[in-house]
């Protein structure tokens, strides 16, 4: 009887085992087709498939955390359970996006990536793309975000130009991101020509040699960097001028005059009992109240005219530069105008501090009808129709 019961138990166990094997095989086949081969073996040696959790990505708050001239750092938050992220980059010089980095995903965490291939001055497009790894170990991209970023590559600024005899030493401020500089020179009426390429972004000075003593020479500079085989250049700096030696003396005198007759002061004797043509004050004239010329300064001009306000001031400056006995030559050509000339136009007189192709920078008095001294205003060629120019050194 005991032997009979034992045989019945063994038979039942065999049946249960067979049925379980059939069910396990069925689950393995149907689940593997959906989730991939993610499985383990049970204690009987049978394969049981364990379906993974559903895969998804979530890229949030992606932004540019910081950048320098040669590196940029991105930050983003991941709430997804994907396996990682690819970082792509493209510039206008690239044929398409290039994979530059991989970041492993940690769910519910902030991630960062630093691109040291970034160059200030180029417009870069970036993509942060999530991926998952399938059962065969292949990474599959499932989506992402992108951004376009450009940091301005600014032109360098001249800090000084010193001329001595036939040499001129240029100094400029560093342009962030520059790998080098290109210097252009314009001699007299000739066009600008590149005269020097400096292949070091930290070099901030250069000396031009063999300059003409009778010719004005102008300089401008731009910075450059390389991206692969391509050059990226800034716009040009402002122009710096190495004047002819004779003109250089006038420049120095102008600097002294601008200190002696400061911008914003008044060329008058308002409130003064004693005064002369060198008197300046901090009080404006009140021409609009009918005071006439009672507080205005005047000057006995070299052409024999007693000049008040703008006229007297311009000719006084001219005498201080060239001397009382310097000859005067009048003409009506803007093209012939130079630094130090006196211009009479539209009832107003000025003295030329700088001459440019389309305008002049002037010194003057009474532009606002208060006898105020002003230096640095631009007067364009179009405003000088039928103007009378007076030169002292032709």
- Residue 290 is predicted with a pLDDT of 65
Whichever domain contains 206, its CATH number is 2.60.40.10
Asked if the structure places residue 6 within a domain, the reply is no
Mean pLDDT in residue range 158-175 = 91
| Residue 258 and residue 384 share a domain | yes
Task: Calculate the average pLDDT of the chain.
Answer: 84
Higher pLDDT, 145 or 128: 128
pLDDT band at 151 (very low <50, low <70, confident <90, very high): confident
Residue 367's closest CA among 376, 358, 359?
A: 376
Task: Show the 3-state SS of 288-349.
Answer: HHCCCCCCECEEECCCCCEEEHHHHHHHHHHHHHHCCCCCCEEECCHHHCCCCCEEEECCEE
| Residue 206 and residue 273 share a domain | no
The pLDDT of residue 16 is above 70: no
Higher pLDDT, 85 or 216: 85
In order, the DSSP letters of 174-222 are PPTT-SEEEEEEEETTSPPEEEEEE--TT--EEEE-S--SSS-EEEEEE
| Residue 303 and residue 277 share a domain | yes
| Residue 254 and residue 183 share a domain | no
Higher pLDDT, 314 or 290: 314
| Residue 370 and residue 305 share a domain | yes
- Dist. CA 152–CA 130, nearest whole Å: 30
Percent of the chain with pLDDT over 70: 85
pLDDT tens by residue, 262-288: 999 999 999 999 999 999 999 999 877
Asked if the structure places residue 40 within a domain, the reply is no
Give how many domains the chain has, as a whole number. Answer: 3
pLDDT band at 153 (very low <50, low <70, confident <90, very high): confident
| Residue 166 and residue 114 share a domain | no
- Residue 365 is predicted with a pLDDT of 95
- Residue 37 is predicted with a pLDDT of 38
- Residue 12 is predicted with a pLDDT of 39
- Domain with 302, as residue range(s), is 245-391
Mean pLDDT in residue range 373-384 = 96
pLDDT band at 34 (very low <50, low <70, confident <90, very high): very low
Q: What is the pTM of this model?
A: 0.56
Last residue of a domain, one of 95, 120, 150: 150
- Residue 13 is predicted with a pLDDT of 34
- Residue 100 is predicted with a pLDDT of 95
Last residue of a domain, one of 189, 217, 242: 242
| Residue 162 and residue 134 share a domain | no
- Residue 4 is predicted with a pLDDT of 43
| Residue 375 and residue 307 share a domain | yes
pLDDT tens by residue, 322-370: 999 999 999 999 999 999 999 999 999 999 999 888 999 999 999 888 9
């Amino acid at each position: 009887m005991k032997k009979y019961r034992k045989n019945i138990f063994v038979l039942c166990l065999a049946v249960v085992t067979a049925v379980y094997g059939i069910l396990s095989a069925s689950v393995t086949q149907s689940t593997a087709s959906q989730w991939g081969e993610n499985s383990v073996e049970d204690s009987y040696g049978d394969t049981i498939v364990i379906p993974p959790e559903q895969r998804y990505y979530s890229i949030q708050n992606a932004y540019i955390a910081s950048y320098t001239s040669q590196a940029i750092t991105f930050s983003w938050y991941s709430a997804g359970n994907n396996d990682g992220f690819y970082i792509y980059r493209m510039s206008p010089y690239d044929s398409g996006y290039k994979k530059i980095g991989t970041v492993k995903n940690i769910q519910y965490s902030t991630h960062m990536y630093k691109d040291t291939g970034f160059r200030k001055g180029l417009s870069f497009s970036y993509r942060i793309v999530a991926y998952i790894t399938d059962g065969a170990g292949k990474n599959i991209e499932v989506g992402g975000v992108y951004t376009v970023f450009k940091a301005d590559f600014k032109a360098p600024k001249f800090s000084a130009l010193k001329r001595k005899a036939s040499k001129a030493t240029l100094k400029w401020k560093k342009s962030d991101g520059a790998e080098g500089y290109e210097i252009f020179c314009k001699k007299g009426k000739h066009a600008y020509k590149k005269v020097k390429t400096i292949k070091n972004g930290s070099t901030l000075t250069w000396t031009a040699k063999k300059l003409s003593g009778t010719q004005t020479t102008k300089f401008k500079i731009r910075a450059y960097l390389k991206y692969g085989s391509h050059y990226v250049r800034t716009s040009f700096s402002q122009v710096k001028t190495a004047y002819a030696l004779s003109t250089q003396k006038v420049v120095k005198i102008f600097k002294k005059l601008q200190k002696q007759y400061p911008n914003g002061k008044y060329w008058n004797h308002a409130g003064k009992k004693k005064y002369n043509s060198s008197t300046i004050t901090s009080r404006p004239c009140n021409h609009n109240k009918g005071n006439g010329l009672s507080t205005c300064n005047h000057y006995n001009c070299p052409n024999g005219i007693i000049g008040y306000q703008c006229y007297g001031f311009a000719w006084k400056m001219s005498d201080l530069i060239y001397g009382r006995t310097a000859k005067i030559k009048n003409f009506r050509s803007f093209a012939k105008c130079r630094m130090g000339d006196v211009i009479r136009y539209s009832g107003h007189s000025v003295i030329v501090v700088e001459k440019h192709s389309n305008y002049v920078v002037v010194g003057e008095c009474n532009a606002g009808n208060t006898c105020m001294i002003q230096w640095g205003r631009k007067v364009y060629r179009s405003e000088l129709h039928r103007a009378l120019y007076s030169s002292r050194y032709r």
